[in-house]
């Protein structure tokens, strides 16, 4: 009996603690959602409350979508979507091809190139941004959406590493059987191996989607024209009280910017959790 | 053994296929890393503002940083405090929560998901916006304090003494991915180790310090390196929430580098700053690698 009671109390304490922590973890998000539904003039009366005193579902969102500097928010959304989709597809495909070569084919200097991949993971991309800016300026690519895609479509060390790890866990007999059946290397990759490494591909796609979607540093440096801005740059403009004094609109569009991220998270949760657990690499 | 030797022979056809497959990455590596790196090293020895032709001035940029530039020293201080406080705090907290979640309870999946969400969205502008509103002037935190009768003249973000802690707190808030990594590492510790400890009547603290922690050191090692590298990159928070202020108390290294390059167009100097950052990260990485034999436990060594 005593044991049982003690265990019960422990369980209650655990859930109590876990829920309190969970509340603090999620509070900023709930706060953002709630604030996007508060009317602008009552917003700062009860800032902390998660239930709006006066519900206003329309004004903030319509003023947010109306945009800034004559550019509608939908344009920012379209820019972000385009850059993110092209960037993600390029990034994952390039990483897949490189990871396949590095883990499945013996070739000259393969160890050296793998070392280079790992090295790019160690050097912050911010270090390269000044020379990249100068090069892009020389070839007239500054302030184009191409400039936003370029840092991504050549693959990423994180994804190459993740996929190499995954490939290493797959028995080689699979490739050898395919080879005996007359498949070339590339055919083997796409017909035999891609279905097997699908989880790694999905994980990589979602992470790369997130990173490109939320990327702020590179767009901030590469872009000048408002009509080519991505969502993070647009939100940064909404934040400037001199050009846009409307917290409601800012909060509403912040919610919109997080929607794709949250939706993907709900759908692909399992892949994200497994992917992180698998290679233990993402800080 | 024999078959392994055979496989080590490189077929010329494989070479061609492999380099074809590697080609897109190689183009990026050369175009986005190698060439920029070379250019950047060159510029770091020059005086260059985008309009003039770069003038070689030797080590002057590097000397200027360490001898004349007080803001550089301030940015270094801020970034070191940020990294050295945040990384241990976040790892410790992640491990603590992972240990709690590594037992049999209901709703574990739900908690795990809840705690992981901030890591997913943490880098976005939206979250920085929220953080600014919560801890800023007239924000949630100040209003709540005043409800309890504590009225303050400045917000946590407005006070140079506390502003950086708010940004560090935001980093700790994103402990979820480290927690997931610890959780999966905890699950891989053989249960037999704990069983024999239980038979010996070991106390929980003993089991933790003698079994759990040593078995986790490879995970901690790997994450320490990656989080330190990531920590030195902090930019968005510093830029969006406080713009480096008040009184440069949250001026991160990358924000300072950005300002040097794109506000003052001091390109040569900012390239030097970039390489100083690489050197700092390299020193940290080397130190952690060198000391790993003293604290990282690898199963195979003990046989």
Higher pLDDT, B133 or A274: B133
Which tens digits make up the pLDDT trace of B239-286?
999 988 899 999 999 999 999 999 999 999 999 999 999 999 999 999
Q: Does a structural domain hold residue B61?
A: no
**Contact between residue B142 and residue A48 where contact means Cβ atoms under 8 Å apart:** no
> Is residue B180's pLDDT more than 60?
yes
3-state secondary structure of B293: helix
Highest mean pLDDT pick, A3-7, A42-46, B114-118: B114-118
> Is residue A274's pLDDT more than 90?
no
> Is residue B295's pLDDT more than 60?
yes
DSSP state of B301: H
Q: Is B211 buried (19+), middle (13-18) or exposed (0-12) by CB count in 10 A? A: middle
Q: Closest by alpha carbon to A269, among B81, B99, B120, B63? A: B120
DSSP state of B46: E
C-alpha–C-alpha distance, residues A99 and A108, integer Å = 15
User: What one-character-per-residue DSSP string does A201-268 give?
Assistant: HHHHHHHHHHHHHH--HHHHHH---GGG--HHHHHHHHH-TTT---HHHHHHHHHHHHHHHHHHHHHH
DSSP state of A125: G
Q: Does a structural domain hold residue B40?
A: no
Which tens digits make up the pLDDT trace of A45-86?
777 778 887 788 888 899 889 888 889 999 999 999 999 999
Higher pLDDT, A275 or B48: B48
User: Rg for chain A (alpha carbons), in Å?
Assistant: 24
Specify the number of domains making up chain B. 1
User: Rg for chain B (alpha carbons), in Å?
Assistant: 25
pLDDT classification of A276: cutoffs 50, 70, 90:
low
Which residues of B fall within a CB distance of 8 Å from A185?
14, 17, 21
Which residues of A fall within a CB distance of 8 Å from B183?
277
Nearest CA in chain A to B28: A154
Q: Does a structural domain hold residue B62?
A: no
Out of A48, A126, A265, name the one closest to residue B257 (CB): A126
pLDDT classification of B52: cutoffs 50, 70, 90:
confident
**Contact between residue B124 and residue A232 where contact means Cβ atoms under 8 Å apart:** yes
Out of B144, B178, B235, name the one closest to residue A217 (CB): B235
Which residue(s) pair with B47 in the sheet? B55
* N residues, chain A: 283
Cis previous bond, B152, omega within 30? no
- Joined together, the tokens standing for residue B276 give 């100083």
Q: Does a structural domain hold residue B29?
A: no
Torsion sign across C-alpha atoms B95, B100, B104, B108: negative
Q: In the prediction, which pLDDT does A1 show?
A: 53
**Contact between residue B148 and residue B154 where contact means Cβ atoms under 8 Å apart:** no
* CB atoms B106 and A160 under 8 Å: no
> Is residue A283's pLDDT more than 50?
no
Q: Is B50 buried (19+), middle (13-18) or exposed (0-12) by CB count in 10 A? A: middle
DSSP state of B209: I
Which residues of A fall within a CB distance of 8 Å from B288?
none
pLDDT classification of A279: cutoffs 50, 70, 90:
low
* CB atoms B138 and A102 under 8 Å: no
- Token pair 């303050």 is found at B152
- B173-202: buried (b, 16+ CB within 10 Å) or exposed (e) per residue? bbbbbbbbbbbbbbeeeeeeeeeebeeeee
Nearest CA in chain B to A211: B123
> Is residue A280's pLDDT more than 60?
no
> Is residue B84's pLDDT more than 90?
yes
Q: Does a structural domain hold residue B159?
A: yes
Out of B33, B103, B131, name the one closest to residue A128 (CB): B33
* CB atoms A131 and B113 under 8 Å: no
* CB atoms A47 and B140 under 8 Å: yes
Which residues of A fall within a CB distance of 8 Å from B129?
32, 235, 239, 250-251, 254
Q: Does a structural domain hold residue B298?
A: yes
C-alpha–C-alpha distance, residues B133 and B113, integer Å = 25
Domains in chain A, please, with CATH?
A: 2-60 (no CATH), 66-279 (1.10.3720.10)
* CB atoms B281 and A135 under 8 Å: no
Q: Of A98-102, A105-109, A238-242, B156-160, which range is least confident?
A: A238-242
**Contact between residue B177 and residue B116 where contact means Cβ atoms under 8 Å apart:** yes
Nearest CA in chain B to A48: B140
Q: For testing the chain B interface, which of A17, A23, A28 should be mutated: the one with the most B CBs within 10 Å?
A: A28
Segment A101-108 shows an average pLDDT of 90
- Token pair 């992640």 is found at B94
Which residues of B fall within a CB distance of 8 Å from A113?
22, 26
Which residues of A fall within a CB distance of 8 Å from B239?
216
Q: How many CB atoms lie within 10 A of CB A275?
A: 22
C-alpha–C-alpha distance, residues A79 and A230, integer Å = 5
B47 membership: H or E segment, kind and range? strand B46-47
C-alpha–C-alpha distance, residues B244 and B241, integer Å = 8
Which residues of A fall within a CB distance of 8 Å from B138?
44, 47
How many Å lie between the alpha carbon of B238 and the closest alpha carbon of chain A? Answer: 12
Nearest CA in chain B to A127: B274
3-state secondary structure of A158: helix
CATH number at residue B128: 1.10.3720.10
Out of A98, A101, A123, name the one closest to residue B278 (CB): A123
* CB atoms B125 and A216 under 8 Å: yes
Segment B122-146 shows an average pLDDT of 86
3-state secondary structure of B91: helix
Q: What is the dihedral of CA B176, B178, B183, B186, to 10 degrees?
A: -160
**Contact between residue A283 and residue B230 where contact means Cβ atoms under 8 Å apart:** yes
C-alpha–C-alpha distance, residues A230 and A85, integer Å = 13
Give the A:B interface size as CB pairs under 8 Å: 270
Q: Does a structural domain hold residue B152?
A: yes
Separation in Å, CA B247 to CA A27, B47, B171? 30, 28, 21
Q: Does a structural domain hold residue B25?
A: no
Q: Closest by alpha carbon to B91, among B260, B222, B256, B240? A: B222
Segment A123-145 shows an average pLDDT of 90
Higher pLDDT, B83 or B149: B83
C-alpha–C-alpha distance, residues B86 and B228, integer Å = 9
Which residue(s) pair with A123 in the sheet? none
Which tens digits make up the pLDDT trace of A206-258?
989 999 999 999 999 999 999 999 999 999 998 887 767 788 889 999 999 99
Q: In the prediction, which pLDDT does B300 show?
A: 55
Nearest CA in chain B to A189: B21
Which residue(s) pair with B193 in the sheet? none
How many Å lie between the alpha carbon of B302 and the closest alpha carbon of chain A? Answer: 23
Q: In the prediction, which pLDDT does B299 show?
A: 64
3-state secondary structure of B2: helix
Q: In the prediction, which pLDDT does A253 show?
A: 94
Q: Which domain holds residue B263?
A: 70-302
């Amino acid at each position: 009996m005593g044991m049982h009671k003690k265990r019960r109390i422990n369980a209650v304490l655990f859930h109590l603690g876990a829920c309190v922590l969970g509340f603090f973890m999620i509070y900023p998000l709930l706060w953002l959602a709630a604030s996007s539904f508060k009317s602008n003039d009552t917003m700062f009366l009860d800032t902390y409350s998660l239930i709006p005193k006066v519900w206003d579902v329309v004004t903030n969102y319509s003023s947010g979508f109306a945009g800034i500097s004559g550019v509608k928010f939908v344009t920012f959304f379209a820019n972000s979507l385009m850059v993110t989709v092209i960037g993600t597809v390029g990034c994952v495909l390039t990483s897949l091809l490189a990871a396949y070569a590095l883990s499945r084919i013996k070739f000259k200097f393969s160890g050296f190139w793998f070392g280079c991949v790992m090295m790019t993971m160690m050097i912050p991309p911010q270090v390269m941004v000044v020379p990249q800016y100068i090069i892009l300026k020389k070839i007239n690519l500054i302030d184009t959406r191409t400039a936003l895609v370029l840092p991504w479509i050549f693959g990423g060390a994180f994804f190459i590493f993740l996929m190499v790890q995954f490939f290493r866990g797959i028995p080689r007999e699979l490739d050898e059987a395919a080879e005996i059946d007359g498949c070339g290397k590339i055919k083997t990759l796409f017909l035999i191996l891609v279905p097997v490494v699908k989880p790694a591909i999905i994980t990589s796609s979602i992470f790369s989607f997130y990173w490109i979607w939320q990327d702020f540093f590179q767009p901030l440096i590469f872009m000048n024209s408002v009509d080519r801005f991505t969502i993070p740059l647009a939100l940064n403009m909404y934040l400037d009280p001199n050009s846009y004094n409307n917290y409601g609109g800012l909060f509403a569009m912040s919610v919109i910017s997080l929607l794709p991220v949250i939706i993907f998270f709900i759908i692909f949760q399992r892949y994200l959790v497994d992917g992180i657990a698998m290679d233990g690499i993402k800080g | 053994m024999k078959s392994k030797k055979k496989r080590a022979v490189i077929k010329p056809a494989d070479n061609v296929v492999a380099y074809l497959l590697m080609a897109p990455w190689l183009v990026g590596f050369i175009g986005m890393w190698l060439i920029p790196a070379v250019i950047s090293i060159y510029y770091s020895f020059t005086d260059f503002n985008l309009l003039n032709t770069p003038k070689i001035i030797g080590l002057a940029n590097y000397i200027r940083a360490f001898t004349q530039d007080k803001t550089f020293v301030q940015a270094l201080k801020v970034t070191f405090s940020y990294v050295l406080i945040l990384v241990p705090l976040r790892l410790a907290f992640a491990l603590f929560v992972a240990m709690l979640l590594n037992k049999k309870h209901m709703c574990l999946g739900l908690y795990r998901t809840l705690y992981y969400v901030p890591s997913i969205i943490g880098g976005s502008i939206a979250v920085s916006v929220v953080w600014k509103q919560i801890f800023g002037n007239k924000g949630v935190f100040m209003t709540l304090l005043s409800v309890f009768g504590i009225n303050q003249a400045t917000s946590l973000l407005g006070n140079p003494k506390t502003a950086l802690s708010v940004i560090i707190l935001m980093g700790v808030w994103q402990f979820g991915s480290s927690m997931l990594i610890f959780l999966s590492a905890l699950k891989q510790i053989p249960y037999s180790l704990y069983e024999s400890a239980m038979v010996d009547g070991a106390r929980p603290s003993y089991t933790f310090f003698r079994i759990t922690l040593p078995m986790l050191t490879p995970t901690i090692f790997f994450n320490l390196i990656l989080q330190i590298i990531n920590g030195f990159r902090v930019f968005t928070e510093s830029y969006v929430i406080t713009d480096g202020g008040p009184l440069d108390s949250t001026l991160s290294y990358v924000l300072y580098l950005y300002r040097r390059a794109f506000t003052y167009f001091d390109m040569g100097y900012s390239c030097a700053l970039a390489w100083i950052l690489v050197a700092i990260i390299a020193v940290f990485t080397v130190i952690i690698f060198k000391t790993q034999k003293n604290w990282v436990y690898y199963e195979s060594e003990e046989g």
